[in-house]
A and B are shown apart, each in its own frame.
Chain A
Amino acid sequence: MPDIGRVVVVGASAAGLTTAESLRRGGFDGLITLIGDELHLPYDRPPLSKQVLLGTWEPERTAFRDDATYQRLDVGLRLGATATGVDLGKRSVALASGDHVPYDRLVIATGVRPLKLRQGHDLRGVHVLRTVDDALALRAALAGATSVAVVGAGFLGSEAAAAARTLGLDVTLVDLAPVPMSRQFGDELGGWIGDLHRDNGVVVKTGVGVNRLLGDTEVTGVELADGTTVDADVVLVAIGSTPATDWLESSGIPLRDGVLCDSTCQAVPTVYAAGDVARWHNERFKVDMRVEHRMNATEQAMAVAKNILGDPKPFTPIPYFWTDQFDAKIQAYGIFPPGSTMTVAQGNPADRKFIAHYHHDGDLVGVLGWNMPRELRAARALLTQD
């Protein structure tokens, strides 16, 4: 094991916590400091747009670990602390409080932040969904509303639309793209997701952009580019996110839509990145990628911890993703680049139970399952064959 006394992890969520736990499991007995700007004990995000929004889980249930576990792990948890910069020469992280936290190894795990609309975002009734506080604010707003417009039909917007519809609201899902989730999985698959939403009573308005949000102090609706308006008491803006790297801008750490790392998740010597914020070269697919999915946060953090403690190895995962919308559990392994060809390999989309294969340049690069979890696990094996 190299001679390392202090590891500092910035970002106290899935990737940050897994880094800390994996270092301890790997035998590291030096100092670990986990710095996070949120006030809550680290918690999990996927339930926020599902169980928490639906009200079937109270927010406390999303906490990863209790206080006692952090003590047992001997992790110095600094919550409510915002990192504002890194001095690579002095090897220290600056905090908003004025403190400087020295490190031997630094792990950046600051995730992403939701993008906002340029206009109308300050109106009351306009929400984003990234944190537990966002989820509780949205849940409270939905409880007093009859209609909601969701701007952005990616996985987050689509999931939230499904939850709001399940709660009995009138829901309109809006996106400039021709169908929901087309950027993730293409137009044909996205069309089936649109059908799922329509069949459950969501008004799906795709292929049309948003002109502006309407209202003086409180939002009353959304004006679309085709001149029509959607009335809404609540608007959820789910138009994507941007890596939380503003605090690194003058640090000298390479940034390119995320922290730019090599294939071992190292950005510069002694500095690593993991989770939603990290862009690295995945040698398995021979592409630079940044993955905003829960499983990757765990796997990449485990890889970073191993690479800090031992011989660095390339991180070559098969990315995994899932989403739950109405009665559909959609799961996917691999990559789904634009221009891939999708074919149904098993089952039938009409039954909403099927497996799809995605080919790119003649290679099978992704498999997607719709309500077929066991079969999908078997299909994953196809991606590991050469």
Chain B
Amino acid sequence: MRVSIDEDGCVGAGQCVLAAPDVFDQRDEDGIVVLLDEAPAPHLHDATREAAVLCPALVIHLAE
């Protein structure tokens, strides 16, 4: 699985961090997503998919 994000559309909701804290973080100043792991290990795939679905701006893209 490869993860990419569209930072420009991110609304800083932080739902991705709640769902997959090993894969996503937020910048301090504006809450914009920070991708910690572009190729998460298999045990993180479910949580990463959940994050992609939950994102209210739909800026998390997965290639599987």
Q: Which residues of B contact A (CB under 8 A)?
A: 9, 11-15, 17-18, 26, 28, 30-31, 49, 53-54, 56-58
Contact = CB atoms under 8 A, between A and B. Distances in A.
A324 B12 CA distance: 11
Interface in A360-384: 371, 373-374, 376-377, 380
Given A329-B31, A373-B30, A374-B31, A46 B53 contact: no
Given A295-B15, A322-B12, A373 B31 contact: yes
A374 B54 contact: no
A324 B58 CA distance: 17
Contact of B13 (A18, A302, A331): A331
A22 interface: yes
Contacts of B17: 377
A47 B9 CA distance: 9
Given A299-B54, A331-B13, 5 more contacts: A61-B9, A295-B13, A295-B54, A298-B54, A374-B31
Interface string A316-340: 0000101010000101000000000
Contact of B12 (A61, A298, A329): A329
B35 to A, nearest CB: 16
B14 A295 contact: no
Contacts of A320: 13, 15, 56
Given A329-B30, A329-B31, A377 B54 contact: no
A331 B31 CA distance: 11
Given A322-B12, A331-B13, A44 B57 contact: yes
Most chain A CB inside 10 Å of its own CB: which residue of B26, B28, B58 = B58
Given A44-B58, A377-B17, A322 B53 contact: no
Contacts of A374: 14, 26, 28, 31
Contacts of B11: 46, 322, 324
